[in-house]
Amino acid sequence: MMGPATDTPTVHGKLHMAELSTPWSRAMGLGAPILNAPMGGVAGGRLASAVSEAGGLGMIGVGSAGSVELLEREVTHPQVAGLPFGIGLLDWALAREPQLLDAAIAASPVLISVSFGDTWRWAERVREAGIVTAAQVSCVESARAAADAGIDVLVARGAEGGGHGEPAVGTLPLLEGILETTSIPVLAAGGISTSRGLAAVLAAGASGAWLGTAFAACSESLASDATRSALIGAKDTDTVMTRVFDIALEYPWPIKYPERILRNEFWERWQGQEEQLSADPEALSEFKASRARGNLGTTHVDAGQGVGRITQVRTASDVVSRLCAGAVELLGSWASNANWAKRS
Protein backbone atom coordinates (compact mmCIF):
# COMPACT_ATOMS: atom_id res chain seq x y z
CA MET A 1 0.00 0.00 0.00
CA MET A 2 1.51 3.32 -0.96
CA GLY A 3 1.75 6.17 1.53
CA PRO A 4 0.23 9.61 1.20
CA ALA A 5 1.49 11.19 -1.98
CA THR A 6 0.85 14.77 -0.94
CA ASP A 7 3.78 15.63 1.24
CA THR A 8 6.57 13.40 0.04
CA PRO A 9 6.28 12.90 -3.68
CA THR A 10 9.15 10.77 -4.91
CA VAL A 11 9.67 12.69 -8.13
CA HIS A 12 8.83 16.25 -9.11
CA GLY A 13 8.70 17.81 -12.50
CA LYS A 14 7.03 18.36 -15.78
CA LEU A 15 7.00 14.68 -16.76
CA HIS A 16 4.19 14.11 -14.24
CA MET A 17 2.20 17.06 -15.47
CA ALA A 18 2.27 15.79 -19.02
CA GLU A 19 0.97 12.42 -17.84
CA LEU A 20 -2.01 14.09 -16.18
CA SER A 21 -3.01 16.28 -19.11
CA THR A 22 -6.59 16.13 -20.39
CA PRO A 23 -7.94 17.06 -23.84
CA TRP A 24 -9.06 20.41 -22.40
CA SER A 25 -5.75 21.20 -20.69
CA ARG A 26 -3.88 20.30 -23.88
CA ALA A 27 -6.19 22.47 -25.98
CA MET A 28 -5.51 25.33 -23.54
CA GLY A 29 -1.77 24.72 -23.88
CA LEU A 30 -1.38 23.92 -20.17
CA GLY A 31 1.28 21.65 -18.75
CA ALA A 32 -0.96 20.71 -15.82
CA PRO A 33 -4.77 20.49 -15.56
CA ILE A 34 -4.80 22.86 -12.59
CA LEU A 35 -6.12 26.40 -12.14
CA ASN A 36 -5.97 28.58 -9.10
CA ALA A 37 -9.45 29.91 -8.32
CA PRO A 38 -9.91 33.63 -8.97
CA MET A 39 -10.01 34.73 -5.33
CA GLY A 40 -10.83 38.38 -4.72
CA GLY A 41 -8.19 40.02 -2.51
CA VAL A 42 -6.08 36.83 -2.54
CA ALA A 43 -5.35 35.75 -6.13
CA GLY A 44 -3.51 38.69 -7.61
CA GLY A 45 -1.09 38.89 -10.52
CA ARG A 46 1.84 37.45 -8.59
CA LEU A 47 0.00 34.23 -7.69
CA ALA A 48 -1.47 33.93 -11.18
CA SER A 49 2.00 34.28 -12.72
CA ALA A 50 3.45 31.67 -10.37
CA VAL A 51 0.70 29.15 -11.18
CA SER A 52 1.04 29.70 -14.94
CA GLU A 53 4.81 29.53 -14.71
CA ALA A 54 4.40 26.17 -12.94
CA GLY A 55 2.34 24.82 -15.85
CA GLY A 56 -1.22 25.48 -14.63
CA LEU A 57 -3.45 28.42 -15.46
CA GLY A 58 -3.16 31.31 -13.06
CA MET A 59 -6.33 33.29 -12.42
CA ILE A 60 -6.74 36.80 -11.04
CA GLY A 61 -9.78 37.36 -8.84
CA VAL A 62 -11.78 40.56 -8.94
CA GLY A 63 -14.02 40.01 -5.93
CA SER A 64 -16.47 41.87 -3.72
CA ALA A 65 -14.13 44.83 -3.25
CA GLY A 66 -12.68 44.64 -6.77
CA SER A 67 -12.42 47.53 -9.19
CA VAL A 68 -11.18 48.34 -12.68
CA GLU A 69 -8.05 49.92 -11.13
CA LEU A 70 -7.27 46.76 -9.18
CA LEU A 71 -7.80 44.59 -12.24
CA GLU A 72 -5.55 46.80 -14.40
CA ARG A 73 -2.86 46.78 -11.72
CA GLU A 74 -2.84 43.02 -11.14
CA VAL A 75 -2.88 41.93 -14.80
CA THR A 76 0.42 43.73 -15.45
CA HIS A 77 2.26 40.98 -13.56
CA PRO A 78 1.55 38.09 -15.96
CA GLN A 79 1.47 40.49 -18.91
CA VAL A 80 5.00 41.73 -18.25
CA ALA A 81 6.17 38.15 -17.69
CA GLY A 82 4.52 37.05 -20.94
CA LEU A 83 2.50 34.36 -19.14
CA PRO A 84 -1.07 33.25 -19.90
CA PHE A 85 -3.65 34.06 -17.24
CA GLY A 86 -7.37 34.12 -16.58
CA ILE A 87 -9.62 36.66 -14.86
CA GLY A 88 -12.57 35.83 -12.60
CA LEU A 89 -15.42 38.31 -12.10
CA LEU A 90 -18.57 38.18 -10.00
CA ASP A 91 -21.98 38.36 -11.65
CA TRP A 92 -23.47 40.90 -9.19
CA ALA A 93 -20.36 43.09 -9.22
CA LEU A 94 -20.41 43.13 -13.01
CA ALA A 95 -24.05 44.23 -13.00
CA ARG A 96 -23.03 47.12 -10.73
CA GLU A 97 -19.86 48.02 -12.64
CA PRO A 98 -20.11 46.89 -16.30
CA GLN A 99 -16.72 48.47 -17.12
CA LEU A 100 -15.13 45.50 -15.35
CA LEU A 101 -15.91 43.38 -18.41
CA ASP A 102 -14.37 45.95 -20.79
CA ALA A 103 -11.22 46.06 -18.66
CA ALA A 104 -11.06 42.26 -18.41
CA ILE A 105 -11.39 41.81 -22.18
CA ALA A 106 -8.86 44.58 -22.85
CA ALA A 107 -6.31 42.76 -20.68
CA SER A 108 -6.29 39.82 -23.16
CA PRO A 109 -6.55 36.91 -20.74
CA VAL A 110 -6.98 33.41 -22.17
CA LEU A 111 -10.06 32.76 -20.01
CA ILE A 112 -12.72 34.85 -18.27
CA SER A 113 -15.09 33.43 -15.68
CA VAL A 114 -18.15 35.18 -14.35
CA SER A 115 -19.48 33.34 -11.35
CA PHE A 116 -22.39 33.24 -8.96
CA GLY A 117 -25.20 34.36 -11.21
CA ASP A 118 -27.43 33.09 -13.95
CA THR A 119 -27.09 35.80 -16.56
CA TRP A 120 -24.93 34.85 -19.50
CA ARG A 121 -25.08 38.05 -21.59
CA TRP A 122 -21.39 38.73 -20.91
CA ALA A 123 -20.35 35.49 -22.60
CA GLU A 124 -21.00 36.57 -26.18
CA ARG A 125 -18.63 39.55 -26.01
CA VAL A 126 -15.95 37.46 -24.35
CA ARG A 127 -16.22 34.72 -26.98
CA GLU A 128 -16.15 37.28 -29.79
CA ALA A 129 -12.86 38.53 -28.38
CA GLY A 130 -11.47 34.98 -28.75
CA ILE A 131 -11.39 34.39 -24.98
CA VAL A 132 -12.56 31.13 -23.38
CA THR A 133 -15.66 31.54 -21.19
CA ALA A 134 -16.13 29.77 -17.85
CA ALA A 135 -18.69 29.85 -15.04
CA GLN A 136 -18.96 28.22 -11.65
CA VAL A 137 -22.18 26.30 -11.18
CA SER A 138 -23.58 24.56 -8.14
CA CYS A 139 -26.30 22.27 -9.48
CA VAL A 140 -27.08 20.32 -12.63
CA GLU A 141 -29.86 22.74 -13.66
CA SER A 142 -27.56 25.76 -13.72
CA ALA A 143 -24.90 23.71 -15.49
CA ARG A 144 -27.44 22.92 -18.20
CA ALA A 145 -28.45 26.60 -18.48
CA ALA A 146 -24.80 27.70 -18.75
CA ALA A 147 -24.08 25.04 -21.37
CA ASP A 148 -27.17 26.10 -23.35
CA ALA A 149 -25.93 29.69 -23.20
CA GLY A 150 -22.69 28.58 -24.87
CA ILE A 151 -20.29 28.72 -21.92
CA ASP A 152 -17.10 26.91 -23.00
CA VAL A 153 -16.09 25.30 -19.70
CA LEU A 154 -18.09 24.71 -16.53
CA VAL A 155 -16.70 24.71 -13.03
CA ALA A 156 -18.59 22.21 -10.86
CA ARG A 157 -18.25 24.05 -7.56
CA GLY A 158 -19.20 21.79 -4.67
CA ALA A 159 -20.52 22.81 -1.27
CA GLU A 160 -17.18 22.01 0.42
CA GLY A 161 -15.55 24.96 -1.35
CA GLY A 162 -14.05 28.01 0.32
CA GLY A 163 -15.42 31.51 -0.08
CA HIS A 164 -18.84 32.24 -1.54
CA GLY A 165 -20.94 29.65 -3.30
CA GLU A 166 -24.30 27.95 -3.19
CA PRO A 167 -23.97 25.08 -0.71
CA ALA A 168 -26.26 22.85 -2.73
CA VAL A 169 -24.37 19.65 -3.63
CA GLY A 170 -20.98 18.18 -2.69
CA THR A 171 -18.16 18.25 -5.23
CA LEU A 172 -18.22 14.60 -6.33
CA PRO A 173 -21.98 14.17 -6.82
CA LEU A 174 -22.12 17.57 -8.53
CA LEU A 175 -19.26 16.66 -10.86
CA GLU A 176 -20.90 13.32 -11.67
CA GLY A 177 -24.28 14.93 -12.33
CA ILE A 178 -22.84 17.58 -14.63
CA LEU A 179 -20.63 15.12 -16.53
CA GLU A 180 -23.70 12.97 -17.14
CA THR A 181 -25.71 15.96 -18.32
CA THR A 182 -23.42 17.97 -20.58
CA SER A 183 -20.72 17.20 -23.08
CA ILE A 184 -18.62 20.32 -22.53
CA PRO A 185 -15.45 20.26 -20.40
CA VAL A 186 -16.00 20.41 -16.65
CA LEU A 187 -13.49 21.50 -14.03
CA ALA A 188 -13.96 20.34 -10.43
CA ALA A 189 -13.82 22.76 -7.49
CA GLY A 190 -14.48 22.63 -3.77
CA GLY A 191 -12.43 20.97 -1.06
CA ILE A 192 -9.62 19.81 -3.37
CA SER A 193 -6.27 20.46 -1.74
CA THR A 194 -4.23 17.29 -2.18
CA SER A 195 -3.09 14.95 -4.91
CA ARG A 196 -5.69 12.44 -3.72
CA GLY A 197 -8.43 14.97 -4.47
CA LEU A 198 -6.88 15.85 -7.82
CA ALA A 199 -6.55 12.17 -8.77
CA ALA A 200 -10.17 11.51 -7.74
CA VAL A 201 -11.72 14.25 -9.87
CA LEU A 202 -9.54 13.50 -12.90
CA ALA A 203 -10.39 9.79 -12.63
CA ALA A 204 -14.08 10.75 -12.46
CA GLY A 205 -13.78 12.64 -15.75
CA ALA A 206 -13.02 16.25 -14.82
CA SER A 207 -10.99 18.19 -17.37
CA GLY A 208 -9.03 19.84 -14.59
CA ALA A 209 -9.21 21.11 -11.02
CA TRP A 210 -9.88 24.65 -9.81
CA LEU A 211 -8.31 25.09 -6.38
CA GLY A 212 -8.84 28.06 -4.09
CA THR A 213 -7.84 27.46 -0.48
CA ALA A 214 -4.70 25.46 -1.36
CA PHE A 215 -3.36 28.40 -3.36
CA ALA A 216 -4.57 31.03 -0.87
CA ALA A 217 -2.01 29.57 1.56
CA CYS A 218 0.85 29.95 -0.95
CA SER A 219 3.62 32.45 -0.44
CA GLU A 220 2.66 34.39 -3.60
CA SER A 221 -0.97 35.04 -2.60
CA LEU A 222 -2.12 38.47 -1.44
CA ALA A 223 -3.20 36.97 1.91
CA SER A 224 -1.54 38.35 5.03
CA ASP A 225 0.90 36.21 7.02
CA ALA A 226 -1.73 35.97 9.76
CA THR A 227 -4.26 34.60 7.25
CA ARG A 228 -1.75 32.07 5.93
CA SER A 229 -1.00 30.94 9.50
CA ALA A 230 -4.71 30.57 10.21
CA LEU A 231 -5.09 28.42 7.09
CA ILE A 232 -2.22 26.08 7.86
CA GLY A 233 -3.31 25.76 11.49
CA ALA A 234 -6.96 24.95 10.73
CA LYS A 235 -8.71 21.58 10.83
CA ASP A 236 -11.19 20.38 8.21
CA THR A 237 -13.98 20.80 10.80
CA ASP A 238 -13.16 24.47 11.42
CA THR A 239 -15.15 25.91 8.50
CA VAL A 240 -18.71 27.26 8.58
CA MET A 241 -21.07 28.78 6.02
CA THR A 242 -22.25 32.25 6.87
CA ARG A 243 -23.61 35.61 5.68
CA VAL A 244 -22.43 37.46 8.77
CA PHE A 245 -19.43 39.09 7.08
CA ASP A 246 -21.32 40.14 3.94
CA ILE A 247 -23.76 41.90 6.24
CA ALA A 248 -21.01 43.48 8.33
CA LEU A 249 -19.17 44.65 5.22
CA GLU A 250 -22.41 45.68 3.50
CA TYR A 251 -21.68 43.65 0.37
CA PRO A 252 -24.78 43.01 -1.77
CA TRP A 253 -24.21 39.26 -2.16
CA PRO A 254 -27.37 37.41 -3.19
CA ILE A 255 -28.72 35.42 -0.24
CA LYS A 256 -28.29 32.07 -1.97
CA TYR A 257 -24.49 32.46 -1.94
CA PRO A 258 -23.22 32.41 1.65
CA GLU A 259 -19.52 32.15 2.34
CA ARG A 260 -17.42 29.34 3.78
CA ILE A 261 -14.94 30.73 6.32
CA LEU A 262 -12.85 29.63 9.29
CA ARG A 263 -15.09 30.15 12.33
CA ASN A 264 -13.97 33.07 14.51
CA GLU A 265 -15.15 35.21 17.42
CA PHE A 266 -17.26 37.58 15.37
CA TRP A 267 -19.06 34.68 13.69
CA GLU A 268 -19.68 33.04 17.10
CA ARG A 269 -21.20 36.30 18.36
CA TRP A 270 -23.48 37.07 15.40
CA GLN A 271 -24.37 33.85 13.59
CA GLY A 272 -28.14 33.43 13.66
CA GLN A 273 -28.54 37.16 14.50
CA GLU A 274 -27.77 38.64 11.10
CA GLU A 275 -30.79 40.97 11.14
CA GLN A 276 -29.84 42.41 14.52
CA LEU A 277 -26.30 42.95 13.24
CA SER A 278 -27.43 44.86 10.18
CA ALA A 279 -29.54 47.12 12.44
CA ASP A 280 -26.74 47.78 14.96
CA PRO A 281 -24.58 50.71 13.77
CA GLU A 282 -22.36 50.53 16.84
CA ALA A 283 -21.52 46.85 16.24
CA LEU A 284 -20.87 47.57 12.57
CA SER A 285 -18.49 50.43 13.26
CA GLU A 286 -16.67 48.42 15.96
CA PHE A 287 -16.34 45.61 13.45
CA LYS A 288 -14.84 47.91 10.84
CA ALA A 289 -12.37 49.44 13.30
CA SER A 290 -11.26 46.04 14.60
CA ARG A 291 -10.87 44.72 11.07
CA ALA A 292 -8.79 47.73 10.08
CA ARG A 293 -6.40 46.74 12.89
CA GLY A 294 -6.12 43.28 11.27
CA ASN A 295 -7.71 41.45 14.21
CA LEU A 296 -8.40 37.88 13.06
CA GLY A 297 -11.27 37.62 15.56
CA THR A 298 -13.16 39.94 13.24
CA THR A 299 -11.32 39.59 9.93
CA HIS A 300 -12.70 36.52 8.27
CA VAL A 301 -10.63 33.94 6.42
CA ASP A 302 -12.33 32.19 3.50
CA ALA A 303 -11.51 28.49 3.41
CA GLY A 304 -12.89 25.23 2.06
CA GLN A 305 -13.01 21.92 3.87
CA GLY A 306 -9.73 20.86 2.26
CA VAL A 307 -8.02 23.34 4.61
CA GLY A 308 -7.23 20.56 7.08
CA ARG A 309 -4.81 18.97 4.62
CA ILE A 310 -2.81 22.19 4.13
CA THR A 311 0.03 22.09 6.60
CA GLN A 312 2.74 24.37 5.26
CA VAL A 313 3.16 27.61 3.38
CA ARG A 314 4.57 26.57 0.01
CA THR A 315 5.28 28.25 -3.29
CA ALA A 316 2.67 27.78 -6.01
CA SER A 317 5.24 25.90 -8.07
CA ASP A 318 5.78 23.45 -5.22
CA VAL A 319 2.02 22.99 -4.80
CA VAL A 320 1.48 22.32 -8.52
CA SER A 321 4.36 19.88 -8.82
CA ARG A 322 3.43 17.99 -5.62
CA LEU A 323 -0.22 17.74 -6.66
CA CYS A 324 0.79 16.36 -10.05
CA ALA A 325 3.48 13.99 -8.82
CA GLY A 326 1.17 12.56 -6.18
CA ALA A 327 -1.79 12.21 -8.54
CA VAL A 328 0.31 10.41 -11.16
CA GLU A 329 1.58 8.04 -8.48
CA LEU A 330 -1.93 7.36 -7.13
CA LEU A 331 -3.53 6.86 -10.53
CA GLY A 332 -0.63 4.69 -11.67
CA SER A 333 -0.86 2.50 -8.60
CA TRP A 334 -4.62 2.16 -9.02
CA ALA A 335 -4.23 1.12 -12.65
CA SER A 336 -1.54 -1.45 -11.87
CA ASN A 337 -3.05 -2.72 -8.63
CA ALA A 338 -2.65 -6.52 -8.61
CA ASN A 339 -6.17 -7.29 -7.41
CA TRP A 340 -7.72 -4.94 -9.89
CA ALA A 341 -5.62 -6.42 -12.72
CA LYS A 342 -6.74 -9.94 -11.75
CA ARG A 343 -10.41 -8.97 -11.82
CA SER A 344 -10.24 -7.26 -15.20
Contact flag: residue 50 with ligand FMN (CB under 6 A): no
Contact flag: residue 61 with ligand FMN (CB under 6 A): yes
The residues in 276-295 that bind ligand FMN, with binding defined as CB under 6 A, are: none
Contact flag: residue 309 with ligand FMN (CB under 6 A): no
Q: For 224, left (φ over 0), alpha (ψ -120 to 50), or beta?
A: beta
Q: In what order do the strands lie in the sheet with 58-61?
A: 34-36, 208-211, 186-189, 153-157, 132-137, 111-115, 85-90, 58-61
Instruction: Pick from 31, 33, 212, 326 the residue near ligand FMN by CB under 6 A.
Output: 212
Size of the site for ligand FMN (CB under 6 A): 29
CB nearer to ligand FMN: pick between 194 and 321: 194
Contact flag: residue 33 with ligand FMN (CB under 6 A): no
Shortest Cβ distance from residue 189 to ligand FMN (Å)? Answer: 4
CA distance 212 to 305: 11
- Residues 12-31: x/- map of binding to ligand FMN (CB under 6 A)? --------------------
CA distance 112 to 114: 7
The residues in 118-137 that bind ligand FMN, with binding defined as CB under 6 A, are: 136
Contact flag: residue 78 with ligand FMN (CB under 6 A): no
CB nearer to ligand FMN: pick between 84 and 162: 162
CA distance 206 to 105: 27
CB nearer to ligand FMN: pick between 18 and 240: 240
Contact between 7 and 323 (Cβ < 8 Å): no
The residues in 146-165 that bind ligand FMN, with binding defined as CB under 6 A, are: 157, 160-163, 165
Pick the piece of the chain touching ligand FMN (CB under 6 A) from 9-17, 190-198, 244-252, 263-271.
190-198
DSSP code of residue 238 = G
Contact between 198 and 147 (Cβ < 8 Å): no
Q: What is the separation, in whole angstroms, between the first and last Cα of the chain?
A: 20
Tell the burial category of 12 from Cβ atoms under 10 Å away from its Cβ (0-12, 13-18, 19+): middle
Cα angle value 144/146/152 (rounded, 5°): 115
The footprint of ligand FMN (CB under 6 A) covers 37-40, 42, 61, 63, 88, 90, 115, 136, 157, 160-163, 165, 189-192, 211-213, 216, 302-304, 306
